[in-house]
Structure 1
């Protein structure tokens, strides 16, 4: 018997015929055809961001698994124009949910999923895109301080190196060797600040965070 569907249970029975008609059917037997690779892609793929470096990916099984789905290959990239098999990938056991970690902040990723059976891989799903959240900024660079008077210090610095890090302001901390008390002030987004109202002839320690 040919042209049957893969991994499908069929019932067969035989009966004899002659010129007078058909006889009594035999006892039926049940047979399941063998597996092959999935005939369709995973469905309803969607992704959502969990943090600046992690996304959650979910999907439904393929409509035509053609066998026992053993797992899924999850492919992801920031360059969707290159062949899918060249993307980064991770394998998921027979589950329709996974997380992808160690991603770059504020970056668009394209994701596709592929099911596989013991006989091979099926087609890729349609791609979906997700953008990771903004990460915590790295340190400001090249912080410099110079006394401009007996009670004021001029601060200058360079923004964090990654242009994707959206800086909205800075936090300035300082203490002195006289009172040994730590002070704090929020500074608008700029690359310089004049710190005034200080003690004369005093050593100050300063920290700046984006």
Structure 2
């Protein structure tokens, strides 16, 4: 409350955040003005409660073959509402009926990896997430679409051209030779990349 009767000894403060430390001060006032505030009280922690907001930043993708990687933004301390905080991830292949659930402990966690040999490359999954603590579970997020890992990518050569630097036998001996080698390698990678039939998003260089 903003104003309290002069003979009051207690006051109720509402709309505080659960599981949060607060300090309080009191000021006296009369028709002549407002006095100096009191010293702060000792810290008082509000009671715990189940989470009230869903984790944000839900997404994912990538990884190794037969993997589904789900990521999110870790929930800040102000929104955890209690001890024993963690995440519950729900996911299913798009179009299927049954949801799989996984509990991911620790507030700092930011990803979950599901591995299964039956997962085909670049399979779409429906994914949801909610938070929990020892007081209960919070609301569920909106559903996001996350794709499993694509088919394995080829390991590509890397080139380093340093004019004037001595090269080992069989390596480019000058900048012009090195650049010609890069050009041929680039052309080879381009040809291989578009010749291969890949599953997943269209790729090029």
Q: With structure 2 as the length reference, what TM-score do the two structures score?
A: 0.54
Distance 1:9 1:133 in 2: 43
Once the two structures are superposed, what CA deviation does each residue of 1:64-114 show, in whole Å capped at 9, x if it has no partner?
3333461111111125675xxx51111111111221111521432111111
* Greater RCO, CA 8 A, separation 6+: 2
The residue that corresponds to 1:100 in the other structure is: 114
Answer yes or no: is 1:112 the counterpart of 2:124: no
Pick closer, same or farther for the CA change 1:55–1:25 going to 2, 3 Å. Answer: same
Checking the alignment, whether the CA contact within 8 Å between 1:40 and 1:62 is kept in structure 2 is no
Which consecutive unaligned segments of at least 5 residues does structure 2 have? Answer: 1-11, 153-196, 198-205
Q: For the residues of structure 2 that align with 1:134 and 1:17, how far apart are their CA atoms?
A: 69
In 2, the alpha carbon distance for the partners of 1:81 and 1:20 equals: 72
In structure 2, relative to structure 1, the CA distance for the partners of 1:57 and 1:20 (3 Å cut) is: same
TM-fit CA distance, 1:126:
2.1
Tell me what 1:45 maps to. Answer: 58
Counterpart of 1:149? Answer: none
More helix by share: 2
Partner of 1:91: 103
How many residues matched?
134
The 5-angstrom pairing of residues 24-173 of structure 1 reads: 25-29=37-41, 30-62=43-75, 64-68=79-83, 70-78=85-93, 82=97, 87-94=99-106, 95-102=109-116, 103-106=118-121, 107-133=123-149
Please tell me whether Structure 1 or Structure 2 has the larger radius of gyration of its CA atoms: 1
Aligned equivalents of 1:118, 1:91: Cα separation in 2: 13
* Aligned alpha-carbon RMSD (Å): 3.0
Determine which of 20, 24, 28 is the counterpart of 1:8: 20
Structure with the larger strand share: 1
Is the contact made by 2:68 and 2:149 (CA closer than 8 Å) also made in structure 1? no
